[in-house]
Amino acid sequence: MNDTLNQRNNLRQLRMMLNMTQKDFLSKFLVDVNGKIIISAATLSNLEIKGGERLDEIISILSEKLLLNPEIFSLEAHEFNEKCSENLDDFICTSDKKNGKVKELLNSLTMYFADEIMEGRLKRGEQITSDRELAKILGVGRSTVREALKVLDVLGMIDIRPGQGTYLANKETNFFSIPLSWSLFLDGGQVRNIITIRSILETKSAELAAQCTDEILLSKLDKVFHQMHTTYHSRDYEQFLDDDIEFHSCVAECSKNQIIYSMLQTIRNFLRRISSTGMMDEEQIYEIYNEHRKIYGSIISHNEAYAVKYMREHVEHASERYTIDT
């Protein structure tokens, strides 16, 4: 029992030592031969917090890729740190100086992309120039550019495809809400304010969605909700949580307000980076399903008042479920 506790604590500690978000950690180490991520962020969160049947499997994979002895994950935290730190020099990137440069670069880099878009030299979905060229253009080190690009990838503004290159996000308007995006991402002290902003935006998106008459968008929302219905009743809770995210994206699409959509995408990416939900309890899953059922029904029936009411209640309950990583 104690070994399991140490293993899950050390799994989380390993990610912290590497200074990686869950998304970076998954895409770097937990992929199959085709580059496909083998577990979801929700599963990783639960392994770090509660453990689980895949804990030994994940530890084995990480140990092989990082050239670590899997047995050290059962050690006490201070022993684990001593044993593995000397093997991780090539992966760790924790210099305050470097982080400071990354923060300074984010604004310049995103403004560069915005200028490229406005001048017509870059279109959504297109491949961007290499990190080597960006380093020359902006007069900074290549490694600093790479770290800044990782941040933009987490924010959903670019898409880093291992072995293929880096591409501009399909939704180019993300770059015009960049002051919100990167400032929220960097300032962890604003978490509660961000959750408040999310509540306002989600509620407004539900109100606007209830006004939507676009059959294609409403059909997409219908499809996603019924997927949630299926995964809930089949107890596929991992997929259910992914469907939850897709449902909210569809509601924002139905609002037909691209700025609301982009800002909510940014906020969701931010919250997923710094928090874990632990939402695998059956009672909580039922609550989430029931809340979404009410939101869906009010939007499909074009009842704006109830769409606002049920979305507001859902976001309030959801904020209570966040466990913020500090």
pLDDT tens digits, 21-64: 788 889 888 988 778 899 998 888 888 888 888 999 999 998 88
- Residues of the chain above pLDDT 90, percent: 25
Higher pLDDT, 98 or 107: 107
With CA atoms as reference, report the closest residue to 31 among 132, 164, 135, 162. Answer: 162
The structure tokens listed for 282 are 């059956």
Q: Can you tell me the distance from the alpha carbon of 279 to that of 291, in angstroms, rounded to the nearest whole number?
A: 14
Per-residue model confidence (pLDDT) at position 273: 56
Low-confidence winner among 42-51, 71-80, 177-186 (lowest mean pLDDT): 177-186
pLDDT of 213 > 50? The answer is yes
Tokens 């499997």 sit on residue: 57
155: which residues sit within 8 A by CB, 6+ positions away?
Answer: 174, 181, 182, 185, 266, 269, 270
Q: Can you tell me the distance from the alpha carbon of 163 to that of 154, in angstroms, rounded to the nearest whole number?
A: 18
Q: Counting beta carbons within 10 angstroms of the beta carbon of residue 67, is it exposed (0 to 12), middle (13 to 18) or buried (19 or more)?
A: exposed
Q: Can you tell me the distance from the alpha carbon of 244 to that of 279, in angstroms, rounded to the nearest whole number?
A: 11
pLDDT of 92 > 60? The answer is no
Per-residue model confidence (pLDDT) at position 103: 63
DSSP summary character for residue 38? S
Mean pLDDT, residues 104-133: 79
Q: Can you tell me the distance from the alpha carbon of 300 to that of 303, in angstroms, rounded to the nearest whole number?
A: 8
Mean pLDDT, residues 209-231: 94
The structure tokens listed for 179 are 């002051």
Type of residue at 142? R
Quote the crossing angle between the two packed helices 55-66 and 2-17, to the nearest 10°.
40
Split at pLDDT 50, 70, 90, the class of 254 is very high
36: which residues sit within 8 A by CB, 6+ positions away?
Answer: none
As separate numbers, helices (DSSP H) first and strands (DSSP E) second, the chain gives 15, 4
Q: Can you tell me the distance from the alpha carbon of 242 to that of 172, in angstroms, rounded to the nearest whole number?
A: 24
Split at pLDDT 50, 70, 90, the class of 298 is very high
CA distances from 69 to 60, 159, 209 (A): 9, 33, 52
**8-30 burial by CB neighbour count: b if 16+ within 10 A, else e?**
bbbbbbbbebbbbbbbbbbbebb
∠ CA 277-282-285, rounded to 5°: 55
Q: Can you tell me the distance from the alpha carbon of 123 to that of 229, in angstroms, rounded to the nearest whole number?
A: 37
pTM above 0.85, yes or no: no
Q: Can you tell me the distance from the alpha carbon of 266 to that of 76, in angstroms, rounded to the nearest whole number?
A: 37
DSSP summary character for residue 211? T
Quote the crossing angle between the two packed helices 41-49 and 2-17, to the nearest 10°.
130
91: helix, strand or coil: coil
The torsion angle over the Cα atoms of residues 144, 146, 148 and 150, rounded to 10 degrees, is: -150
